C-alpha cells in the first residue's frame, strides 16, 4: 500500500489553486454550459422525431461529442496539470489548446478509451447477464429467481467497479497528450506507471468519494471540482517523480520507459 506521504495534502492543493480559483470556476462554468446546451438540443429534438431520426441524431451527437468535447476535456486536464506543476501563467485559453495542437491524437485518445470501456463492459457483464437471463426463466421458483436477481445485481456492481479500476491505468495519459510520443506509447507509459501505483489511484478516488454527494448542488460543485481536478493532476505528477526514484537495477530493464518519462516531463 502507498504511504501517507504518497498522497498530496489538501493544504497544498488549496495553495496551488489559490491564485487560479476564479479562472478554474470560469473553466468549469463553460463546460457545464456546453453540457447543458447538448442536453437542451437533445430534449428539444428527440420529442419530435421518429425512431430512425432519433437513431441518426444519436450518431450525430456522438460524433459531435467526440470531435468537440474531446479537445475540451483534454484542455481542461492540461489546465489543471499546469496548475499542479505550479505554473502561474495558466489561463482560460488552455481549455482550447488541443483544437490547434495534436487534435487528431486527442480524438484518437478519446475514441480509444471509449472502445476499451465498452469492450471491458461487454466482457465484465456477461456473468451478470446470464444470471438475469436465468431470473426470467425461474419465475416459478421464487427462491431461485430472487437469488439469481440478487447475484446478478451484485455482480453487475462489482463488474462496473472492476472495469473502472482497470481503466484507471489509462487515466494519466490525458495529461500527456501534448507530448511528441505516439498515442500508443503514451498509453503504454500510462499503463506502466499506473501498474506500480494502481492502489494509490484507487485510494485517491476513494478519498474523494463522499464529495460526490455534493456535486449535484451548484455552489459545492464549483468548489469541489477544481479541488479534485488539481489534486488528481498533482497526484499523477508525483507518481512520475516517485517512479523515477526506482533503484538503478530497475532501469536496466526499463530504459525506454525512462526516456519517455523524461520526454513527458520536458513538455511544458
181-216 tens-digit pLDDT: 899 999 988 998 888 788 888 888 888 777 766 666
Distance, CA of 194 to chain centre: 13
Cα–Cα distance measured from residue 239 to residue 118, given in angstroms and rounded to the nearest whole number: 27
End-to-end CA gap in the chain = 31
Which among 73, 65, 67 is positioned nearest to 97, based on CA atoms?
73
The better pLDDT of the pair 172, 213 is held by: 172
Tell if the pTM clears 0.75, that is, is over it.
yes
State the cell numbers at 127. Answer: 456473468
- The whole-number pLDDT of residue 7 equals 59
Which among 17, 5, 41 is positioned nearest to 222, based on CA atoms?
17
Cα–Cα distance measured from residue 85 to residue 180, given in angstroms and rounded to the nearest whole number: 19
State the cell numbers at 75. Answer: 484542455
CB under 8 A, 24+ apart: contacts of 204-209: 204/7, 204/231, 204/232, 204/235, 205/168, 207/7
Cα–Cα distance measured from residue 72 to residue 77, given in angstroms and rounded to the nearest whole number: 9
- The whole-number pLDDT of residue 2 equals 42
Cα–Cα distance measured from residue 239 to residue 200, given in angstroms and rounded to the nearest whole number: 9
The better pLDDT of the pair 213, 64 is held by: 64
Identity of the highest mean pLDDT range in 13-22, 34-43, 127-136: 13-22
| Vertex 157: Cα angle to 151 and 160 (nearest 5) | 135
Average pLDDT, the chain: 81
How many CB atoms are located within 10 Å of the residue 259 CB?
11
Domain ranges of the chain: 4-101+173-266
- The whole-number pLDDT of residue 43 equals 76
Flag the least confident range among 11-25, 27-41, 208-222: 208-222
- The whole-number pLDDT of residue 250 equals 61
- The whole-number pLDDT of residue 3 equals 41
Q: How far is the CA of 224 from the CAs of 13, 17, 86, 119, 227, in angstroms? A: 11, 12, 19, 31, 5
Q: Mind listing the pLDDT tens digit for each residue in 102-140?
A: 999 999 999 999 999 888 888 877 776 666 666 666 566
- The whole-number pLDDT of residue 4 equals 41
Q: Mind listing the pLDDT tens digit for each residue in 133-162?
A: 666 665 666 666 666 667 777 777 888 888
Q: Is residue 146 within 8 Å of residue 181, measured between CB atoms? A: no
Cα–Cα distance measured from residue 199 to residue 108, given in angstroms and rounded to the nearest whole number: 27
Which among 154, 159, 152 is positioned nearest to 134, based on CA atoms?
152
Q: Mind listing the pLDDT tens digit for each residue in 225-263?
A: 899 999 999 999 888 888 777 765 666 556 677 777 777
Amino acid at each position: 500500500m502507498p504511504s501517507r506521504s504518497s498522497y498530496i495534502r489538501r493544504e497544498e492543493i488549496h495553495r496551488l489553486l489559490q491564485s487560479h480559483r476564479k479562472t478554474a470556476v470560469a473553466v468549469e462554468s463553460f463546460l457545464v454550459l456546453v453540457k447543458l446546451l447538448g442536453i437542451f438540443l437533445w430534449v428539444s429534438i428527440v420529442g419530435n422525431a421518429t425512431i430512425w431520426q432519433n437513431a441518426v441524431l444519436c450518431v450525430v451527437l456522438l460524433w459531435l461529442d467526440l470531435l468537440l468535447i474531446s479537445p475540451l476535456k483534454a484542455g481542461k486536464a492540461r489546465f489543471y496539470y499546469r496548475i499542479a506543476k505550479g505554473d502561474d501563467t495558466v489561463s482560460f485559453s488552455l481549455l482550447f489548446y488541443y483544437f490547434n495542437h495534436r487534435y487528431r491524437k486527442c480524438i484518437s485518445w478519446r475514441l480509444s478509451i471509449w472502445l476499451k470501456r465498452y469492450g471491458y463492459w461487454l466482457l465484465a457483464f456477461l456473468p451478470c447477464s446470464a444470471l438475469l437471463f436465468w431470473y426470467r426463466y425461474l419465475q416459478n421458483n421464487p427462491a431461485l429467481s430472487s437469488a439469481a436477481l440478487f447475484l446478478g445485481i451484485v455482480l453487475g456492481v462489482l463488474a462496473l467497479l472492476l472495469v473502472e479500476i482497470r481503466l484507471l491505468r489509462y487515466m494519466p495519459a490525458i495529461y500527456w497528450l501534448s507530448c511528441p510520443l505516439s498515442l500508443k506509447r503514451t498509453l503504454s507509459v500510462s499503463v506502466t506507471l499506473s501498474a506500480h501505483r494502481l492502489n494509490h489511484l484507487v485510494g485517491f478516488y476513494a478519498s474523494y468519494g463522499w464529495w460526490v454527494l455534493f456535486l449535484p448542488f451548484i455552489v459545492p460543485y464549483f468548489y469541489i471540482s477544481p479541488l479534485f481536478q488539481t489534486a488528481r493532476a498533482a497526484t499523477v505528477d508525483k507518481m512520475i517523480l516517485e517512479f523515477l526514484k526506482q533503484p538503478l537495477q530497475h532501469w536496466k530493464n526499463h530504459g525506454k520507459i525512462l526516456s519517455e518519462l523524461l520526454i513527458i516531463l520536458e513538455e511544458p
